[in-house]
Structure formats: C-alpha cells, structure tokens
Amino acid sequence: MITEGAVLDALSGVRDPELDEPITDLKFVSDLRVGEGAVDVKLRLPTPFCAPNFAYLMAHDAREALLSVPGVREARVILEDHHTADEINAGMASGMGFGGTFNSFEETEGDSLDELRTIFRRKGFVSRQEKLCRALLADDYSPAELAGMRLGEVPRSETKEKYLGRREELGLGVSADAPFLVDPDGRKLPEDAVMQHLRFARVTRLSIEANAGFCRGVLAARYRDVPDVIEEEATL
C-alpha cells in the first residue's frame, strides 16, 4: 500500500536546482494522486517562461523519486502551464532523456545536464556553508577556529545537516574528522582567507534566497495563493 505521506516524503527530496529548496516547500507540487502501484503528480512553476532546463530537471527528479517509493511501479509526472509542457510531458512519459525531449531545439547541445546541475550544487554548497559559518561566528567562534575545525566538532543543527547533504552531493567527505571549511573542490581554506571567502559566499546566498523569494511571490500571484511568510529573510 502506497501512502501519500511516503510519496510526499520522496518528493521533498527533490529540489529546484537554482533555488536550492525542495519543490514541496516551494509549492510546485499542485496535485498528487495515489493509486494501485501508481502515482500521478502535477507540477506547476511561477511563470510559463521559467527556464526549461530547470523545469526538466525537476520533472525528471520527481519521477525518479516517485519510482524509489516501495510499491510504486508506475509514476506519471505532468508539468502544467509551461511553454515547454508538451515536450517535457512527452519526454517524461517515454523516458527520452533531456536530449531526446528537446531534440527539435537547435540550441540543445548533447544529452547531459550534469554540468548545469554541478554549477548549482556548488552554489548551494557555498550558500549553506556561509549560513552555517555565520551561525558559528554569532556563537563566538573565531574565523581561525572555523578554519581549524573538523566536521565532528561543529555542533549539530538543521543548518549543519543541510550543509552535510550539499557536501555529499559534491563528493566531498562528510566524516567527523574531515576538515569543515573547504571550497567546492574540497581544498581546505587558509585561516586568513576565511572572512573574505564568506564575504563573497554571502552574495551567493543572497542571490539564491532573494530569487527564491521572488519566485514564491510570482507563483502565489499566478495561482492566487496566499503568499508565504519568508523566514530566511531575517537570517542573512
């Protein structure tokens, strides 16, 4: 028996790559139907012109997530109200992959969105790391201490959990004795570079979070939902 809870749980692992937040939190999941061995999910986005590459990635990842739920043999993901909805929906139904889905479009180069995904995973990593570092600095850790810390020495928190998740996706170590403060390539940051690194990282986080706020507002206006209260706003 497939439960709605299990399905939602799986979908909450799917993120908008650009906004670095789960599609469930962003209210991109507009409908969910669970049947005998099958799940139907509808996705919606803030505008008809949201970038098709990211739209494809979310639809693709949602389908994969649904198929990972025990008991699900069939998963149908439909993207609504988007200028490439027909292409993406056909691509999802037949498992054609990105290149196949958009093979009629000249500017698509090759099948892989891996490079794009990596760019945004790196940004997400830097942003989560900055958030965690700010919290530690506010708790009176010094920049030098941050540079010397190992992961096991960083107190537990939700922010830390998210940071560890982003590290793992980039293939960086998450063991307790791994160095805490590394760049997206895993190189340890020297003590005197910590504050400068965070100065830039903050702009990355601001960019992602401001964009997410913008997208939430536009989505709410489009579907006449009540806008969310954005909690992150005060944390930067």
Q: Which two tokens stand for residue 29?
A: 């999941």
User: Residue 71 in contact with residue 1, Cβ under 8 Å?
Assistant: yes
115 binds another protein (CB under 8 A): yes
Rounded to a whole number of angstroms, the minimum distance from the CB of residue 88 to another protein is 9
∠ Cα 34 40 45 (to 5°) = 130
**27 Rama class: left (phi>0) / alpha (psi -120 to 50) / beta:** left
Among 49, 68, 157, 188, binds another protein (CB under 8 A): 49
Rounded to a whole number of angstroms, the minimum distance from the CB of residue 153 to another protein is 22
User: Residue 128 in contact with residue 172, Cβ under 8 Å?
Assistant: no
- The Cα 37–Cα 52 span in angstroms is 29
105 binds another protein (CB under 8 A): yes
Residues numbered 4-33 forming contacts with another protein, rule: CB under 8 A: 18
158 binds another protein (CB under 8 A): no
Rounded to a whole number of angstroms, the minimum distance from the CB of residue 31 to another protein is 21
- The Cα 23–Cα 15 span in angstroms is 5
Annotate each residue in 76-95 with x if it binds another protein (CB under 8 A) or - if it does not, as one string: -------xx-----------
Annotate each residue in 160-199 with x if it binds another protein (CB under 8 A) or - if it does not, as one string: -----------------------xx--------x--xx-x
For residue 163, which of 192, 195, 194, 136 has the smallest C-alpha distance? 136
Nearest CB to another protein, comparing residues 69 and 208:
208
